[in-house]
Amino acid sequence: MPYLNSWFCLFLENYVYARPVPPPRKREKPMQVLCVGFPRCGTESLQHALLKLGYDHTYHGWDIIFEEPNYTPQWVELCRKKWFGPLNGECSITAAEFDAVIGHAVAVSDAAGSIFAADLIAAYPEAKVVLNQRKDIDEWHHSVTHTIARANSHWSLWILSRLSPDCFWSWECFVNFMWPGLFRAIDGNIQTGVMRNGKWAYREHNNMVRGLVPKERLLEWVPEDGWKPLCEFLDKPVPDEPFPHANAAAGWQGKEAAIAKKFALQAVQTLVGLTTLTVGAGAIYYRYRR
């Protein structure tokens, strides 16, 4: 992980793959719900449920990749501040800094919620906190091992990250910063990080949240609990429909396919541009050489 704060990494971010900075978002409604449990703990189901309960917008990790305008570089900045912050031992991310990327959201789930759990809890002290978990830690570990843990073994995506700026930033954000940081993969290998550290990191995270949030502001929830405890906690009526169950393994694979398609199209455009430039330069060189 030291590479992530090297001059070469910063050169790639600030020059090779730099892109226009989108306008900072502004908070118009207070942050109301922070779902801070680990990924693969019903995070997308919670997003759908909160949207149904009127929490619009509920921000999910997929938003980091798919939303337009895209704020992935700003998430990388927040990650770098969290793990490579000032040398005085104090690193706090303010509500204003979070609002610049999620100011349009009144609830958060998945990647941002878990990775920045302590920071979000401190930044939004009035928000209610949901610690979403799984009943069986072994089932959770199996799930995360066959999804997130495979991230940096996708060599096709790594190649695309050299040709697609959007893919570069998504790779930088999730594969280089977020998942290694969450699973204490200090060598950058997410797979071995999850396999070795996943369970204790999960337990340590949950205990941290319990220590940070007063009991009256905290709901410990598993997907099997469904609507009732969530609605009671949020003072909302229970919807007359089944609780949403999203992002099973098949859903995850579908999202991965959509990501790959998006990045591949951009890579083709890059290759066409580079080919055109190379052919043009060759033609000019041949013409003047004669």
pLDDT of 206-239, one tens digit each?
999 999 999 999 999 999 999 999 999 999 999 9
What residue ranges do the domains of the chain occupy? 2-289
pLDDT of 74-89, one tens digit each?
999 999 999 988 877 7
b/e code 39-56 from CB counts within 10 Å (16+ = b):
bbbbbbbbbbbbebbebe
Contacts of 170 (CB under 8 A, 6+ apart): 64, 65, 72, 161, 259, 263
Asked if pLDDT for residue 274 goes beyond 50, the answer is: no
Collapse the DSSP code of 286 into the 3-class scheme (helix H, G, I; strand E, B; otherwise coil) and give the result: helix
Give the sheet arrangement for strand 218-221, strand by strand. Answer: 58-59, 107-108, 33-35, 128-132, 218-221
- Using CA atoms of 59, 62, 65, 68 in order, give the dihedral in degrees to the nearest 10: -50
Q: What is the mean pLDDT of residues 7-27?
A: 90
Q: Please classify residue 84 by burial: count the beta carbons closer than 10 Å to its beta carbon, then call 0-12 exposed, 13-18 middle and 19+ buried.
A: middle
Asked if pLDDT for residue 259 goes beyond 70, the answer is: no
pLDDT of 161-177, one tens digit each?
777 888 889 889 999 99
The pTM (predicted TM-score) of the whole model is 0.85
Neighbours of 124 (CB within 10 A): 20
Asked if pLDDT for residue 273 goes beyond 60, the answer is: no
Give the span between the Cα atoms of 185 and 197, in whole angstroms. Answer: 8
Look at domain 2-289 and name its CATH class: alpha beta
pLDDT of 87-119, one tens digit each?
777 788 999 999 999 999 999 999 999 999 999
